[in-house]
Amino acid sequence: MLTLLKLLQDGRFHSGQSLGAALGVSRSAVWKQLQQLEAELNLPIYKVRGRGYRLQRPLSLLDQESLNRSDCPWPSVVLDSIDSTNAEVMRRISAGYIPPFAVAAERQTAGRGRRGRHWVSPYAENLYYSLALRIDGGARQLEGLSLVIGLAVLATLRSFGVTGVGLKWPNDLLVNNRKIAGILLELVGDPADICNVIVGIGINANMLVANEDIGQPWTSMAAEVPGLVDRTALAVRLGQYLGDYLVRHRDEGFPALRAEWEAGHLWQGARVNLIAGAQTITGIVLGIDSTGALRLSVCGEERAYSGGELSLRLSDDS
């Protein structure tokens, strides 16, 4: 079925006869596979007598060989369908795989965002990417790590021509207050000694159709810069920027990247509500500190917040 999808990914019409010849099967077998594609992957297929079959929209499938070219900073594997790329990385670490390595997928059936939210993952539309990192040297190497990952994602999006994109503390990227990417970090091991960090990154690449399961305003690269995004090129570029920023973070520490992060933060100086469980704290964003904690002016007093299940929202009177 994947071979058939590769033949159709250009979005052009292909006759049943030519598809059958390429697959070495009958036209009726092609028809059955097309029905299976529609049912299992929710990919609408147009059927026109005399012209053949085509996808409703072209696809950009991930190419594992390109992801593993010589200048990529770590090995990568591409899976057709998985519950969650983060979960798969955890399983591979448990099975003895040595970080760094990355897992990408065409689809997630149980993708996860921060605070246990479901991450909508339609087939071959967006980038679902998780990176395993080994962290030596204790908690200092973890300071500001999620924010450093955000800088790498920001640089990646800007390199593809996405304008107006910026950071939202701690782990989101927005365009016009609509989410275009998110980051989820999960820790395995002892943060005071040696541990593994799973860096999950979701980037809305080619998604254009609204999904009722998305509970917040969103946008995508294709919505901001019309045209089909090459998801393999996106993953390769992301890996390169991640490699560069992780080296800087390791060698220089987060304080060296603090000013750059603040320059990309969309809500600098904004009046916000910080939600921590049942508590809501209203203040003015001053920036971040040397560990990546959020600095707020609350009733004229500066306070810093980090860790836990924190959520930041613009205040109604901002």
What's 225's domain CATH number?
Answer: 3.30.930.10
Query: Of 55, 72, 87, at which residue does a domain stop?
Result: 55
Q: Is there a single domain that holds both residue 166 and residue 256?
A: yes
116 pLDDT above the threshold of 60 = no
93 and 210 share one domain: yes
Choice among 107, 168, 179, 231 that is catalytic: 179
> Of 114, 168, 231, 258, which residue is the catalytic one?
114
Q: Are residue 182 and residue 307 in the same domain, yes or no?
A: no
| Closest to 296 measured CA to CA, from 269, 266, 263, 259 | 269
Same domain, 220 and 308: no
> Which residue segment(s) compose the domain that 286 sits in?
267-314
Give the integer Cα–Cα distance in Å for 303 and 310. 14
pLDDT tens-place string over residues 14-56: 998 999 899 899 988 998 999 888 888 888 889 998 899 999 8
In this structure, the answer to whether residues 142 and 188 fall within a common structural domain is yes
Closest CA to 79 of 130, 152, 136: 130
Cβ atoms of 77 and 103 within 8 Å: the answer is yes
Number of domains in the chain: 3
Question: Among all chains, which residue has been given the structure tokens 């924010």?
Answer: 147
Residues 162 and 183 both lie in one domain: yes
- Claim to verify: residue 240 and residue 123 sit in the same structural domain: yes
60 is in an annotated binding site: no
Per-residue confidence (pLDDT) for residue 318, from 0 to 100: 47
pLDDT at 58: 92
Check the annotation: does 27 bind a ligand: no
Report pTM: 0.91
Last residue of a domain, one of 262, 283, 305: 262
84 is in an annotated binding site: yes
- Asked if 176 and 108 sit in the same domain, the reply is yes
Is 177 annotated as belonging to a binding site?
no
178 is catalytic: no
On whether both 177 and 221 belong to a single domain, the answer is yes
Q: Are residues 82 and 178 in the same domain?
A: yes
Q: ω before 75 within 30° of 0 (cis)?
A: no
Alpha-carbon distance of 275 to 280, in angstroms, equals 5
Q: Residue 38 maps to which CATH number?
A: 1.10.10.10
| pLDDT at residue number 182 | 95
**Could you report the per-residue pLDDT of 206-237, keeping only the tens digit for each?**
998 766 566 679 999 999 999 999 999 999 99
Q: Is 85 annotated as a binding residue?
A: yes
- Judge if 27 and 8 occupy the same domain: yes
Active site residue 295: no
299, two tokens:
């009733």
* Residue 313 annotated in active site: yes
Residues 184, 95 within the same domain: yes
